[in-house]
Chain A
């Protein structure tokens, strides 16, 4: 597990058609061009039929620009944006299962409070801690918990939005058949392929 990244990282947001194969296209692009993905989070947006991918890659700002431009070449990628740290809010959720013997619980609880995390499960010898924070904060919490013994750790990958009122506008489909083609074609009609992860 990588807890202390040394190199810089770039966050790229991509709005994509929620259509079969989009994730494969993006993953294939990253493999082919040799970009190193730190995390990739995909989810729905306020626009029906549009998913948002938040991709964190290791590399310089030049790499971030290249990734965004290569992603933009994919037809199913509607638009991309490189998110700049000071100009955007980035968050990630982590669940950390840590050893918590009765004598250590007070100390762990103190750490949890300092990081504004919370304990969501407690058993005789362990606790699950939940934190929603920026990447660096999660890493700091992890470092503080490590001496007690981390049993398992899971992170969602970062998501981010630009600060302020600015949003990404996109054209809508006027023709219902065309909308259906862009968002549903390619799917096996009788099948049950999941929308966001196929």
Chain B
């Protein structure tokens, strides 16, 4: 065995883990690591413009590829700038590894320059974290961190490394196995719970599947389809579950929840059996918990047993990897049909289609622009979003048809996620067109990453739904704060001049007729492009389940509130 510096050990660990791309920003204490990068040309370090963006890029990279996303920052402010991105990735169960440097061991706890107790800060927002005090420990920390981040319910793991640990030498001995006695991620479910679920499903008259992010994370879309088809069970998706079944599938009924469809929400309230698959029964998906559907029998499949009974009572909690469990269920349930139930939902869909359709007027709407982007770029592209009205419209009109097509901040709801996450997705999928639907507010939070895109040749197409408002906040002020609009009328720079400043194409679209041509012009450009869609300023997202209301209290226009 050869002795080498801690910095070399870190890079060898990344090689062993198959990490070929990471997003980072240098600084004092990580200089010993950066010093060694030139000797590892197979590891592509993408220099971002802000550490938060490094974190979101790693997050987007992981969501688009299914591989571990890695971000690197220096101590102190570099590390604290990662905090939003770490929280975002962990809350959406995205397999990510965050590496920070820290001050020299002897200065830890002495409030030295650029010291932050970053492991203390990240403790409640990660699956696990490490501060590595000896170079010999690096191999264990990295092998375990990657294993923990990518197995079970995936999540964020953080490793903090003092500067002198990068410099001190140790032997590199990569452990072939990971052995953590406090961590045993489940796989298949126990027979009893499968039998109990099977009995309930076989007797169901109005069964409904809630398909969540777990389907995508565990690559179980095929198993979901097979199970749903065998028992003819309609499927609704959570926001992060979009793409687990194509909208064109006969059993697919779109999104559930606060801005889900009228028919999906009413189906959820009327089902006699609900099968939650890889989802966490979140308030945005379920509305007021106690009135979600008190009469339904609920089967809840999740790899994280702590999600069972956390928010809602469950008749059959099933602990397991949803991919394995779906295989077990598809085998054990009887083939069935539910024609009356499907007809009931179908009729509701026909009768309430109006409340979730592209506005028909002549004015350019975000809904129209998004539906045209979705149509023209197709489901093989990647579609990212920020947070707010445009995000909900992208969920409604984005025609999300395959796993990993749609990348959005679900749990944390992080404005500014759209630009860096799309950059990460493009780095993961150089062969796919990557589009990001931006809000005019969120875009202004992180557009500095256009500099990174230009330098790294990441041709992300940024479609700003520019309504000159923080639209979702305005919607809430209108509906729930008596139209008292406060601090939502955000001013903007000239987005085309930003494009010009970065030397990229900028296109402004003000009417419907020019939408297709602008999208095609952007598609044809080999670099990043900004399209400034000047959309209707006063549009609201419908349908809506007001905060604190139940799913069957879904309203379809402001007159109903």
A residues neighboring B (CB under 8 Å): 16-17, 21, 24-25, 28-29, 32, 62, 65-66, 69-70, 72-79, 170-171, 173-175, 177-178, 181-182, 185-190
A residues near B127, Cβ cutoff 8 Å: 73, 75
Q: Which of B19-27, B128-136, B369-377 contacts A (4 or more CB under 8 A)?
A: B128-136
With A24-B123, A186-B131, A189-B133 as given contacts, are A66 and B306 in contact (CB-CB < 8 Å)? yes
B residues neighboring A (CB under 8 Å): 105-106, 108, 119-120, 123-124, 127-128, 130-134, 136-137, 140-141, 148, 175, 179-183, 304-306, 308-310
**12 A-B contact pairs sorted by A residue (CB < 8 Å):** A28-B124, A75-B180, A75-B182, A78-B182, A170-B181, A171-B179, A174-B179, A177-B136, A178-B140, A181-B141, A186-B132, A189-B105
List 18 additional A-B contacts (Cβ < 8 Å) besides A73-B304, A175-B175, A182-B180.
Answer: A17-B182, A24-B120, A25-B123, A65-B309, A69-B306, A73-B306, A74-B128, A77-B182, A171-B179, A171-B181, A173-B179, A173-B181, A181-B141, A185-B133, A186-B131, A187-B133, A189-B133, A190-B106
Q: Which 6 A/B pairs are nearest by Cβ-Cβ distance?
A: A69-B306, A181-B140, A78-B182, A75-B128, A185-B137, A171-B181
B residues near A187, Cβ cutoff 8 Å: 133
Whether B182 contacts A79 by the Cβ 8 Å rule is yes
Chain A proximity of B159: nearest CB distance (Å): 11
A residues near B310, Cβ cutoff 8 Å: 66
Whether A185 contacts B130 by the Cβ 8 Å rule is yes
A17 to B123, CA, bound (A): 16
A198 to B69, CA, bound (A): 32
With A25-B123, A28-B124, A185-B134 as given contacts, are A178 and B306 in contact (CB-CB < 8 Å)? no
With A24-B120, A69-B305 as given contacts, are A74 and B182 in contact (CB-CB < 8 Å)? yes
Chain B proximity of A186: nearest CB distance (Å): 5
Q: Which of A25, A76, A173, A188 contacts B133 (CB 8 A)?
A: A188
Whether B306 contacts A189 by the Cβ 8 Å rule is no
What is the chain B residue whose CB lies nearest that of A189? B133
A188 to B110, CA, bound (A): 13
What is the chain A residue whose CB lies nearest that of B306? A69
A residues near B119, Cβ cutoff 8 Å: 21
What is the chain B residue whose CB lies nearest that of A187? B133
B residues near A21, Cβ cutoff 8 Å: 119, 123
A residues near B108, Cβ cutoff 8 Å: 188
Residue of B105, B140, B141 ringed by the most chain A CB atoms within 10 A: B140
Chain A proximity of B145: nearest CB distance (Å): 10
A residues near B304, Cβ cutoff 8 Å: 73
